[in-house]
């Protein structure tokens, strides 16, 4: 069995500054479902930060880095989904899904957490 993991932490205030300086940031990084979920919260920024951290952790777990062929839509291709019970999950599409198939990954888990100042995410991918 192969195990791939990634972790990332985001300072919520820094992410908030990026939002105010780059009006297209949310559209470029987050899927419609992610934006809708985060914007439904009283303070959306901890939720955006946790999802951003999960996308970064997913990229780290896949071992693809932030440069190279196919990277253009990577943040949109890694989506944080929620089960009916509210448990977060990871959905891969496009290039990221292709990389996961190439590595024989058949299980994905994600854990999100945030406090007043930071959001953190851990992604674990397992395969044969």
- Residues noted as catalytic: 60, 114
* 97, burial (CB in 10 Å: exposed 0-12, middle 13-18, buried 19+): middle
- What stretches of the chain show up as alpha helix (H) in DSSP? 12-21, 25-29, 32-39, 45-62, 74-77, 94-102
Task: Transcribe 13-32 into DSSP letters.
Answer: HHHHHHHHH-TTHHHHHS-H
CA distance 18 to 15: 5
């Amino acid at each position: 069995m192969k195990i791939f993991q990634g972790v990332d932490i985001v300072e919520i205030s820094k992410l908030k500054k990026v939002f105010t300086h780059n009006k297209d940031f949310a559209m470029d990084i987050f899927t419609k479902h992610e934006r809708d979920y985060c914007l439904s919260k009283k303070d959306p920024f901890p939720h955006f930060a946790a999802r951003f951290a999960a996308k970064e952790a997913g990229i780290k777990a896949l071992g693809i880095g932030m440069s190279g062929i196919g990277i253009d839509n990577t943040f949109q291709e890694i989506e944080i989904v929620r089960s009916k019970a509210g448990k977060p999950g990871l959905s891969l599409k496009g290039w990221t899904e292709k990389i996961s198939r190439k590595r024989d990954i058949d299980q994905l888990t994600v854990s999100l957490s945030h406090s007043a100042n930071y959001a953190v995410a851990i992604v674990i991918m397992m395969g044969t």
